[in-house]
Amino acid sequence: MRLIGKKRLVLLVASLAVAGCDAPQPSDADIQRSIAIADEFQSRLQSKLGRALQNGGPTNAIAVCAEAAPAIAEQISAETGATLRRISLRPRNPGAETIGELRERLMALAAKPTDADGNPALDNWVDRRGDAATHYTMRAIIMKDQPCAACHGTEIKPDVRAAIDERYPDDQATGFRAGELRGAMLIALPRKAPGEK
């Protein structure tokens, strides 16, 4: 019998609950790869955001975030061959909006943003189209008080509000409380279907 670690088991049960028993799953190696890609994105963005907040507060950091987030996603896509994006049920950037199945998956994540160990919840699945397959990992992004609340929280200062409105007139991404699902990272790894090399 293969030994299954506690974390893997929780993951497995969580994904079975969402996807049903016969749905194909990405390999553990691919899931770990996607997690590493999500970590890399978050650490690069957080260091930019942290510096911008120190240098000029949230109003200044909004401009930095607006340009850095898509640029970092593009850099990492070019480095790894994966596609990554941030998605949300209440997006700031309209490009983060989701519809259909993806939205349903995100709603399931919002209902349970952390796993049994308190880590951001994951949802993993495989999408097959003919010979091609894409391995998806969606990882929860949890709202925190620091530093997130200044720009996504329940009380946004007027100058910050104005800076947000200037760039994002359709912003829906305020009013979040610590511990809630702010959004998710979606990592897509292009793969061949089984039997192909």
Q: Does 66 bind ligand HEC (CB under 6 A)?
A: yes
**In the set 58, 125, 136, 139, which binds ligand HEC (CB under 6 A)?**
58
**In the set 62, 76, 82, 122, which binds ligand HEC (CB under 6 A)?**
62
Site string for ligand HEC, 103-142 (x = CB under 6 A): --------------------------------------x-
Point out which span in 10-18, 29-37, 63-71, 102-110 binds ligand HEC (CB under 6 A). 63-71
142: helix, coil or strand? Answer: strand
Rounded to the nearest angstrom, the gap between the alpha carbon of residue 161 and the centroid of all alpha carbons in its chain is: 24
151: helix, coil or strand? Answer: helix
Min separation Cβ 173 and ligand HEC, Å = 4
Q: What is the DSSP string of 105-139?
A: HHHHHHHS-B-TTSSBPEEEEEEEETTEEEEEEEE
Site for ligand HEC in 148-167 (CB under 6 A): 148, 150-152
The smaller minimum CB distance to ligand HEC, of residues 13 and 178, is found at 178
Question: Could you tell me which of 65, 83, 88 has the C-alpha nearest to residue 160?
Answer: 65
The smaller minimum CB distance to ligand HEC, of residues 24 and 147, is found at 147
Question: Could you tell me which of 169, 173, 142 has the C-alpha nearest to residue 156?
Answer: 173
CB atoms within 10 A of CB 168: 16
Site string for ligand HEC, 164-193 (x = CB under 6 A): ---------x--------xx----------
The site that binds ligand HEC (CB under 6 A) totals a number of residues, namely 24
Residue type, 34: S
Q: Does 33 bind ligand HEC (CB under 6 A)?
A: no
Q: How many residues does the chain have?
A: 197
83: helix, coil or strand? Answer: strand
* Beta-ladder partners of 85: 186
Owner of token pair 């702010």: 182
Which residues contribute to the site for ligand HEC (CB under 6 A)? Answer: 58, 61-62, 65-66, 69-70, 86, 88, 91-93, 96, 141, 143-144, 147-148, 150-152, 173, 182-183
